[in-house]
Amino acid sequence: METTGTVDAIVVEDSGTKAKKADVLKLIDQAKSLVESSRKLPLSNRTLVDRESLLKLLEEIRLALPSNVKVASQVLQRRERIINQALAEAHRILVANAEDLEAKAQQHSLVEVAQKKAEDILKQAENQVRSMMVDAEKQITVPSQDTSHILSGIKHKLGQIVSLFHGRKSSKSG
């Protein structure tokens, strides 16, 4: 048995006859109309109802009701499946975002450590250059003209190296 339907009407297709059955709500409305249109007994609140008509409507309701219940159950199962899929997807997204955030935090931390280490290396190099300059000046007690010229060339080169280190340091800081 295959069922198709909308909110307003449900059609049940029997595998052989494909006979349409009435909507349960319409059948209930018909039963209500039958009772309301029936004759009232004098001097009482009782009503005479055509027994055959009422029993026929009740049987149609009984036959139509299981298919409606089945369709409603399928709709609820589909709804629950969709909700579970949405929750699973939301959980997956949250986990992925948390992992991504943690990776970015670790990467940021590594970059900070690397920058600090680079700054330390630059400072050590600057200190070594200064120390070499001081040592060179101490070793030359009485510079001759040639030695003075060589010494000023060395100082110039060392100054360029120091400037180069400062230039790299400032470009990495900015």
pLDDT in tens, 90-99: 999 999 999 9
pLDDT digits (tens, 9 = 90+) for 71-88: 888 899 999 999 999 999
pLDDT digits (tens, 9 = 90+) for 126-172: 888 888 888 877 776 555 666 777 778 888 888 888 787 777 666 66
pLDDT of residue 22: 55
Q: What is the dihedral of CA 52, 54, 58, 63, to 10 degrees?
A: 50
Listed by start position, the domains of the chain span: 2-173
Mean pLDDT of the chain: 78
Is pLDDT at 119 greater than 60 in this prediction?
Answer: yes
pLDDT of residue 87: 92
Q: How far apart are CA 13 and CA 127, in angstroms?
A: 92
Of 167 and 45, more confident: 45
Please report the DSSP string for 1-69 in residue order: -EEEE-SS-EEEE-TTT------HHHHHHHHHHHHHHSEEPTTSS-EE--HHHHHHHHHHHHHHHHHHH
pLDDT of residue 6: 36
1 band by pLDDT with thresholds 50, 70 and 90 = very low
Residues contacting residue 140 through CB under 8 Å, at least 6 positions apart: 147, 151
Amino acid at the residue 44: S
Rounded mean pLDDT, 99-111: 87
